[in-house]
A and B are shown apart, each in its own frame.
Chain A
Amino acid sequence: DTGVSQDPRHKITKRGQNVTFRCDPISEHNRLYWYRQTLGQGPEFLTYFQNEAQLEKSRLLSDRFSAERPKGSFSTLEIQRTEQGDSAMYLCASSLAPGVRDTYEQYFGPGTRLTVT
């Protein structure tokens, strides 16, 4: 296991199109997080899963965004009807759940850079 992976690494789409990103976490990690990072900003939390359950969603996650983690392993983040303001780096991170060693250490993927034209 070489760490968290994300696919694709880059995505260019036209406004109004739907896009889907995939994240594969470290295999033994049961928590999976999605963040968004825009230019000049730090990553901002979007949502997280513990196993297959989506436990929290940020107010940043509009109803055009949906995330799934169907079998508690990989996760997908879909953006419907993309807008230019969605252009950002989308980061995925994984960790063990609380109560286990390295409780809050999150391991990040390389990110998917989305450009909406």
Chain B
Amino acid sequence: AQRVTQPEKLLSVFKGAPVELKCNYSYSGSPELFWYVQYSRQRLQLLLRHISRESIKGFTADLNKGETSFHLKKPFAQEEDSAMYYCALSGGSQGNLIFGKGTKLSVKP
């Protein structure tokens, strides 16, 4: 079964601390993995995707096929990073996304 698991509902860190949001997936083929972010009162937006291998707002994520993980990392969290983060995968030509339940990141001053 295709599934995305985000084990933490809430992650709270202090400003300047490293942050890692965990994501594990279950998919039989070669999925495309994404991180979407939703800031307060804003729409869901793409943060990064594994195939682009870029760093956005200081965040990076590496696809580990052996561990079926796609954890999101940032070395120094900022208060403006506080948001809801969703890991998602897309498999097959239809392109529909399968989302995890999300992790709420709270960065305290």
Our pick among B43, B88, B94, B99 for the contact of A110 (Cβ within 8 Å) is B43
- Tell me the residues in window 43-96 of chain B with beta carbons closer than 8 Å to chain A beta carbons: 43-46, 49, 86, 88, 90, 93-96
B20 on interface, CB distance cutoff 8 Å: no
- Tell me the residues in window 77-103 of chain A with beta carbons closer than 8 Å to chain B beta carbons: 91, 93, 95, 98, 103
Q: Point out the residues of chain A lying under 8 angstroms from B44, CB to CB.
A: 43, 91, 108
Query: Are B95 and A109 within 8 A (Cβ)?
Result: no
Our pick among A40, A56, A108 for the contact of B94 (Cβ within 8 Å) is A56
Query: Are A105 and B49 within 8 A (Cβ)?
Result: yes
Complex CA gap A42/B98 in Å reads 8
Residues of B within 8 A of A (CB): 4, 9, 32, 34, 36, 43-46, 49, 86, 88, 90, 93-102
